[in-house]
Chains A and B, each alone.
Chain A
Amino acid sequence: MSAQTQIQSQSAKGRDFHKLGPVWNVIFHAMAGIFALMCVFPFIFVMIISFTDENTLARNGYSLFPEKWSVEAYSYLFKAGDQLLRSYGVTIAVTVIGTVIGVIATALFAYAISRRDFKYRNFFAFFAFFTMLFNGGLVPTYIIVTQLLGLKDSIWALILPLAVNAFYIMILRTFFSTMVPDAIIESGRIDGAGEFGIFFKLVLPLALPGLATIALFSTLGYWNDWFNALLYINTPNLVPLQSMLMRIENNMQFIMQNAQNTSLSVGVLQSMPQDTSRMAMVVLATGPIVFAYPFFQRYFIQGLTVGAVKE
């Protein structure tokens, strides 16, 4: 088995070196590199701005080399102290639990409707697809979550509403139907495995890149979600990170729009740093998840030793 794996990975490497001429290699590097740089640049800019002195920023505008540096924005955000840490905790918990639940439910559903021999596959495919287009809006969902399920101020109100997503199901179904040859399922059946056995032991390993993609999207979905917390969470202990930061952002926007209102603007505005803390929030919110990224990435960059299961 391991020898076979080695051969597989060697041959995978072999094909990479084969026949992509050096000129094209350079061109490919240039294409990917330049585009990546365009994408990274604003991010570096965000970091620089977040460390810029607020007054310098107001006077000179955005600059790559600010006259005066400052950590004021961060100290404002860290003023929340334990709240910030707790919010990180909530976000991580929600993200991990939600992704696990979501990926399992999604994969099961997607696999079933990817099987040509499942009698109701079209019905369920349509059943899922329909929800991508039609929804009843905010208020009915709110009632389901708070009144029917009674999840107000519960961590499940952050997890369940995002757990399943028809878009992911459709992607994953395609992965299953293109990556998993019928022969493998057939062979599993001959070996006497049950449907669930075939799914977990034979199918999932083959569809790892697809699963990783869905898991990544789901993780990011949970990580970036702030709206469910706005609706369902009152207890400060359960406010996730993005929601906490979004509140500050929303406040800034709101107060800006109502600057004419003297009682409001004078009372509240003065305590708020503006642009710099906005950028600092981006840094705080994305930093950890960017570091988690390589964990998923290895499944869709490195080229897996997929062939191992091949007959």
Chain B
Amino acid sequence: MSRKKKGFIPALALLMVMSIVLSACGGKGGVEGTPEKPVELIWYTIGTPQKDVDKVMAEVSKYTAEKIGVTVKMSMVDWGDYAQKLQVMTASGEAVDIMFTSSWAFDYVQNARKGAFLQTDDLLKEYGQGIVDTLDPAFLEGSKVDGHNYGIPANKELPAQEVWRFNKKLLDKYNLDISKVYSLESLEPMLQKIKASEPDVYPLAVDKNQVPYVPYDYVIEKLPMAVPLNTTDFKIVNVLDTPEMKQILKTMHKYYKAGYIPTEAATLDSLTDLQATGRWFADRATSQPFADNLWSASYGYPVVSTPASEPLIYNWSVMGSMQAISANTKYPEKAMQFLNLLNTDPVLRNMVDSGIEGVHYKKVNDNVMENLDESKNYDMPTFALGNVMLTYLNTTDPANKWEEFKKFNDAGTKAPLLGFNFDTSKVATEIAAVNNVKQEFWAALMTGTVDPDVYLQRANEKFKAAGLDKVMAEAQRQLDEWRAANK
């Protein structure tokens, strides 16, 4: 026993001395965060890890050390692993300064509420003025959680517009006109024609992730609570009870029975097989300017589209790509200065995006560049790394690309629930049950696989038993509060 004590006290003493020395070291060198003594920001972002990240970040660090006194250490985490890894890291309080977050990977609202991110209202005013000036106000307004900002949305396409996409080969072959197409019903004559003449082709490609478009704004994506887009009283309804949804599900079921929709749509993970072989005629997608070009290039055959909805600014479209400052960062001001620079300074933004000039890319003219061979070692997801409108165009891009984006953004109208984010913690038990019911019925109903006349009622009964009413009441209460606060 006594031997133990002897060992313990000197060890403790040593530890204390060390910590004093260490903290002294930290304090001695004068002000941190200057070009002479920059601070290091650890930045976690999404995407397949690239070989040259460290090399490029060394260049980036030279630039940012000079400008704002920071250096950058970037860690990329692959798409499919990002949410899980960051979840564990933030829950365990690991040291991170900046991290990617969004509505579809490492959920922004959820993690803001759990306390993963630093609240940035004041930082934005003080160090992020450039961001505030560049962004459409809807971005910052729509990404508020309980009235505060916790992340910086990337300046990119703001609204979401649903479109019908068509396989142009088939359109041309049968000389079909899509200018009159808008609703699901308006597709019918064409689907019929294709079904009759092309037995190998699925006229309407649908997989289990798709939900027919109805003019409602969902409180939570894919849970049946929503308000009508033209609402004035903001009353939350069960979307499965609305005439629009009933009608559209009937149509889907009719199409399913007619053989327009893949027989196994309700369990189909994706349409990639159909897209690869071109054995589809029409489907629905979310669009952005010049999306047709992207799709055509991606599939290897021409794809054209026509709107299926107005361009609307939803919470999820605003939160499509964000960078947040970690709650436990030691350098909140520096992190905000960096994000501000990233979103306003073309030199930095393009370095992060395309690498080192002359190594990874070369400039063709002022705002157009061409990738060099080395770019295969630094191939970054542009949309995930801040303001896309600062990035150089590719030689294949139309010259007016960013102007079109701006036009598209200006044309968007705000969905009624923009900026309202439901806090589910009071009804977590019911949400868990409701989610289970949803997954039991959702895909089968939405793909038209089952008869809505029978299954809508069954689903609603189960939703009721699971406590949907209680969830809706709580959502309504929060929504009313939010409206009162935002008048």
Contact A251 B288 (CB under 8 A): no
The answer to whether the Cβ of B381 comes within 8 Å of any Cβ in the partner chain is yes
Contact A231 B88 (CB under 8 A): yes
The answer to whether the Cβ of B452 comes within 8 Å of any Cβ in the partner chain is no
Residues facing B in A265-281 (CB within 8 A) are: 266-270, 274
The answer to whether the Cβ of B279 comes within 8 Å of any Cβ in the partner chain is yes
Contact B298 A250 (CB under 8 A): no
What does the 1/0 interface line of B67-105 toward A look like (CB < 8 Å)? 000000001001111001100110111100000000011
The answer to whether the Cβ of B382 comes within 8 Å of any Cβ in the partner chain is yes
CA of A263 to CA of B49 in the docked complex: distance in angstroms?
Answer: 18
Cβ distance B157 to chain A, nearest Cβ, rounded Å: 8
Asked if A257 meets B51 with Cβ closer than 8 Å, knowing A58-B273, A234-B75, A250-B78, the reply is: no
Contact A267 B382 (CB under 8 A): yes
Contact A230 B85 (CB under 8 A): yes
Q: Which of B17-25, B110-118, B264-272 contacts A (4 or more CB under 8 A)?
A: B264-272
Among the listed B92, B105, B210, B271, which residue makes an inter-chain contact with A143, where contact means beta carbons less than 8 Å apart? B92
CA of A250 to CA of B271 in the docked complex: distance in angstroms?
Answer: 17
Closest chain A residue to B208, Cβ basis = A257
Chain A residues whose C-beta falls within 8 Å of the C-beta of B79 in the assembled complex = 250-251, 254-255, 264, 268
The answer to whether the Cβ of B321 comes within 8 Å of any Cβ in the partner chain is yes
The answer to whether the Cβ of B320 comes within 8 Å of any Cβ in the partner chain is yes
CA of A269 to CA of B81 in the docked complex: distance in angstroms?
Answer: 16
Closest chain A residue to B162, Cβ basis = A260
Q: Chain A interface: which size bin? A: 35 or more
Closest chain A residue to B207, Cβ basis = A259
The answer to whether the Cβ of B209 comes within 8 Å of any Cβ in the partner chain is yes
Closest chain A residue to B78, Cβ basis = A247
Contact B277 A256 (CB under 8 A): no
Closest chain B residue to A57, Cβ basis = B273
Cβ distance B77 to chain A, nearest Cβ, rounded Å: 8
Contact B49 A267 (CB under 8 A): no
Closest chain B residue to A265, Cβ basis = B298
Contact B276 A58 (CB under 8 A): yes
The answer to whether the Cβ of B295 comes within 8 Å of any Cβ in the partner chain is yes
The answer to whether the Cβ of B48 comes within 8 Å of any Cβ in the partner chain is yes
| Residues of A participating in the B interface, judged by any CB pair closer than 8 Å | 54-55, 58-59, 138-139, 142-143, 146-147, 230-231, 234, 236, 247, 249-264, 266-270, 274
- In the A-B complex, the 9 residue pairs with the smallest Cβ-Cβ separation, listed nearest first, are A250-B80, A254-B80, A58-B273, A256-B270, A263-B383, A270-B298, A251-B80, A266-B294, A139-B91
Given contacts A55-B276, A230-B85, A257-B269, 7 further A-B contacts (CB under 8 A): A139-B91, A247-B78, A247-B80, A247-B81, A259-B207, A260-B286, A262-B288
